[in-house]
Amino acid sequence: MNSTTTYIPSKILAGNAELLRQHSFTRWMSRDLMQATADYCKNIGLFPLYCETSPDHLARYLFWRLPQGAITEVRSGRTKEKFTELDQASMEKNRKLVSLHVNESDVYSAVWVSSDHYETAKTILAAYGIMCAERKEAA
Protein backbone atom coordinates (compact mmCIF):
# COMPACT_ATOMS: atom_id res chain seq x y z
CA MET A 1 0.00 0.00 0.00
CA ASN A 2 1.49 3.35 -1.06
CA SER A 3 0.82 6.48 0.91
CA THR A 4 1.05 10.08 -0.16
CA THR A 5 2.30 12.81 2.10
CA THR A 6 0.61 16.20 1.96
CA TYR A 7 2.27 19.24 3.49
CA ILE A 8 0.31 22.22 4.73
CA PRO A 9 2.62 25.24 5.15
CA SER A 10 2.63 27.37 8.27
CA LYS A 11 -0.03 30.08 8.29
CA ILE A 12 0.72 33.69 9.15
CA LEU A 13 -2.16 35.10 11.17
CA ALA A 14 -3.24 38.73 11.20
CA GLY A 15 -3.83 40.34 14.56
CA ASN A 16 -2.01 41.39 17.69
CA ALA A 17 1.17 39.44 16.92
CA GLU A 18 1.73 41.18 13.56
CA LEU A 19 3.83 44.01 15.00
CA LEU A 20 5.91 41.66 17.17
CA ARG A 21 6.52 39.33 14.24
CA GLN A 22 7.56 42.10 11.85
CA HIS A 23 10.04 43.51 14.38
CA SER A 24 11.44 40.06 15.18
CA PHE A 25 12.23 38.84 11.66
CA THR A 26 15.75 39.40 10.36
CA ARG A 27 16.10 41.53 7.27
CA TRP A 28 15.99 39.78 3.90
CA MET A 29 19.44 38.26 3.30
CA SER A 30 21.38 36.73 0.44
CA ARG A 31 22.58 33.14 0.77
CA ASP A 32 26.12 34.09 1.85
CA LEU A 33 24.84 36.47 4.53
CA MET A 34 22.26 33.88 5.70
CA GLN A 35 24.95 31.39 6.62
CA ALA A 36 27.05 33.98 8.43
CA THR A 37 23.98 35.16 10.35
CA ALA A 38 22.95 31.63 11.27
CA ASP A 39 26.48 30.82 12.45
CA TYR A 40 26.70 34.00 14.54
CA CYS A 41 23.28 33.43 16.11
CA LYS A 42 24.13 29.80 16.86
CA ASN A 43 27.21 31.02 18.75
CA ILE A 44 25.00 33.19 20.98
CA GLY A 45 22.42 30.45 21.48
CA LEU A 46 19.76 31.44 18.93
CA PHE A 47 18.36 29.13 16.27
CA PRO A 48 15.82 29.66 13.47
CA LEU A 49 12.26 28.68 14.33
CA TYR A 50 10.74 29.94 11.09
CA CYS A 51 12.27 30.94 7.75
CA GLU A 52 10.99 32.30 4.48
CA THR A 53 12.55 32.50 1.02
CA SER A 54 11.54 35.27 -1.37
CA PRO A 55 11.08 34.82 -5.13
CA ASP A 56 14.49 36.57 -5.44
CA HIS A 57 16.08 33.78 -3.33
CA LEU A 58 16.60 36.03 -0.32
CA ALA A 59 15.72 34.62 3.09
CA ARG A 60 14.73 35.89 6.49
CA TYR A 61 14.52 34.16 9.85
CA LEU A 62 12.67 34.31 13.11
CA PHE A 63 15.06 33.12 15.83
CA TRP A 64 14.43 31.57 19.25
CA ARG A 65 16.49 30.32 22.17
CA LEU A 66 16.39 26.53 22.14
CA PRO A 67 15.23 24.71 25.25
CA GLN A 68 17.88 22.55 26.92
CA GLY A 69 18.38 19.37 24.88
CA ALA A 70 16.38 20.48 21.83
CA ILE A 71 17.75 19.74 18.38
CA THR A 72 16.69 21.51 15.19
CA GLU A 73 17.22 21.08 11.48
CA VAL A 74 16.82 24.15 9.25
CA ARG A 75 16.80 24.14 5.46
CA SER A 76 15.81 26.96 3.15
CA GLY A 77 15.62 27.46 -0.59
CA ARG A 78 14.94 23.80 -1.45
CA THR A 79 12.94 22.11 -4.18
CA LYS A 80 9.93 20.05 -3.19
CA GLU A 81 11.83 16.84 -3.93
CA LYS A 82 14.79 17.84 -1.75
CA PHE A 83 12.44 19.05 1.00
CA THR A 84 10.63 15.68 0.95
CA GLU A 85 13.98 13.86 1.32
CA LEU A 86 14.95 16.13 4.23
CA ASP A 87 11.58 15.59 5.88
CA GLN A 88 11.97 11.82 5.69
CA ALA A 89 15.50 12.01 7.13
CA SER A 90 14.27 14.28 9.96
CA MET A 91 11.46 11.87 10.81
CA GLU A 92 14.00 9.07 11.06
CA LYS A 93 15.90 11.24 13.58
CA ASN A 94 12.70 11.76 15.64
CA ARG A 95 12.29 15.40 14.57
CA LYS A 96 8.93 16.94 13.73
CA LEU A 97 8.20 19.53 11.07
CA VAL A 98 7.38 22.71 12.99
CA SER A 99 7.40 25.37 10.28
CA LEU A 100 7.24 25.40 6.50
CA HIS A 101 7.16 28.26 4.03
CA VAL A 102 6.59 27.67 0.30
CA ASN A 103 7.01 30.74 -1.88
CA GLU A 104 5.40 31.62 -5.21
CA SER A 105 8.21 29.84 -7.08
CA ASP A 106 7.57 26.58 -5.16
CA VAL A 107 10.75 27.01 -3.08
CA TYR A 108 10.56 25.28 0.31
CA SER A 109 12.02 26.51 3.62
CA ALA A 110 11.48 24.45 6.75
CA VAL A 111 12.42 23.91 10.38
CA TRP A 112 12.22 20.60 12.25
CA VAL A 113 12.59 20.23 16.01
CA SER A 114 13.17 17.20 18.23
CA SER A 115 9.80 15.61 19.03
CA ASP A 116 10.04 16.17 22.77
CA HIS A 117 10.32 19.96 22.18
CA TYR A 118 7.65 20.26 19.49
CA GLU A 119 4.92 21.61 21.81
CA THR A 120 7.26 24.33 23.10
CA ALA A 121 8.16 25.35 19.55
CA LYS A 122 4.47 25.37 18.61
CA THR A 123 3.69 27.68 21.56
CA ILE A 124 6.50 30.09 20.65
CA LEU A 125 5.36 30.21 17.01
CA ALA A 126 1.80 30.92 18.12
CA ALA A 127 3.04 33.89 20.19
CA TYR A 128 4.34 35.34 16.90
CA GLY A 129 1.04 34.63 15.15
CA ILE A 130 2.36 31.70 13.12
CA MET A 131 0.63 28.33 13.01
CA CYS A 132 2.74 25.19 12.73
CA ALA A 133 3.06 23.36 9.45
CA GLU A 134 1.19 20.09 9.09
CA ARG A 135 2.31 16.81 7.60
CA LYS A 136 -0.51 14.45 6.63
CA GLU A 137 -0.27 10.89 5.40
CA ALA A 138 -3.03 9.70 3.08
CA ALA A 139 -3.43 6.04 2.18
pLDDT in tens, 16-25: 888 888 889 9
User: Model-level pTM?
Assistant: 0.89
Tell me, what's the pLDDT at 53? 87
pLDDT in tens, 70-110: 999 998 889 999 999 999 999 999 999 999 999 999 999 99
Tell me, what's the pLDDT at 1? 39
Residues pairing with 34 in the sheet: none
Tell me, what's the pLDDT at 139? 62
Report the C-alpha dihedral over residues 94, 8, 103, 113, rounded to 10 degrees.
-20
| Cα distances (Å, whole numbers) of residue 9 to 28, 41, 53, 101, 116 | 20, 25, 13, 6, 21
Q: Which domain holds residue 80?
A: 4-138
Tell me, what's the pLDDT at 120? 96
Domain count, the chain: 1
Tell me, what's the pLDDT at 4? 86
Handedness of CA 63, 68, 70, 74 (dihedral sign): positive
pLDDT in tens, 25-80: 999 999 889 888 888 998 999 999 999 988 888 989 999 999 999 999 998 889 99
Tell me, what's the pLDDT at 2? 46
